[in-house]
Amino acid sequence: MSRKLYITGTDTGIGKTYISVNLLHAFNQAGLSTIGLKPIATGANPENEDALLLQQAASIKLPYADVNPLAFAPPIAPHIAAAAVNTTLTIDSLNKCMESAFAHPADIHLIEGVGGSHVPLNRHETMADWARVNNFETILVVGVRLGCINHALITLRALQADKVNVIGWIANCIDEGMDAMQENLQALRELLNVPCLAVCHKGGPVKL
């Protein structure tokens, strides 16, 4: 039975792609068939680097247009980039764009979000709403740096308030020089009410 794993984060720039690529490698090594997807990407000239990394890491390499059906050139918020080319993002339009990729059989469809957890699609819908509507198994990537406890708590509570199916979180230690890192990791384990699935240090693999 195929699983759809949705990777979201506490903010932009906290390593969602790095974690996603590592997860794909781990699933591949476990003998599972994988598809990596980046439904929406900005900063695409004409292709997005993160989407290409996901395409390359997956065991099943779909055409780029299926991996990243919505690619916008400006590196700005997706709904603003879409509006600049007279496109409106909605949950329904996003689902339609993903039909081909989701129809392709695989053990794991790994879907990387865009930006932080609640990036808007339009004035009324967010990426979190899309995850909820599709009941994706959602993994929250926490960028471990100063302020991460606050960001993680706020993000997880917002996702759960929106009834997103969050199955766990992954710590991505993006500031290896952070003071009291182990204490911060322990606080996150104690304060977040979903399990820690992995702790990733810079340059290291994700071990589930």
Give the end-to-end CA distance of the chain in Å, rounded to a whole number: 20
In this predicted structure, the answer to whether residue 206 has a pLDDT above a threshold of 80 is no
Residue recorded with tokens 């039975």: 1
Segment holding 108, helix H or strand E: strand 108-112
pTM attached to this predicted model: 0.95
Q: Residue range 109-132: average pLDDT? A: 97
Higher pLDDT, 35 or 207: 35
In this predicted structure, the answer to whether residue 128 has a pLDDT above a threshold of 70 is yes
User: What are the tens digits of pLDDT across the range 21-60?
Assistant: 999 999 999 999 999 999 999 999 999 999 999 999 999 9
Predicted confidence at residue 183, as pLDDT, reads 96
User: What are the tens digits of pLDDT across the range 83-92?
Assistant: 999 999 999 9
Collect all residues with Cβ–Cβ distance below 8 Å to 166 and sequence separation of at least 6: 138, 139, 140, 156, 159, 160, 194
Under the phi-then-psi rule, with left for phi > 0, alpha for psi from -120 to 50, and beta for the rest, what region is 128? alpha
Q: Six-digit token pair at 44? A: 């695409």
Predicted confidence at residue 204, as pLDDT, reads 62
Which residue numbers are catalytic?
38
Question: Where is average pLDDT lowest: 6-10, 15-19, 199-203?
Answer: 199-203
State the average pLDDT for the chain: 95
In this predicted structure, the answer to whether residue 208 has a pLDDT above a threshold of 70 is no
Higher pLDDT, 80 or 177: 80
Nearest CA among 140, 63, 60 for reference residue 107: 60
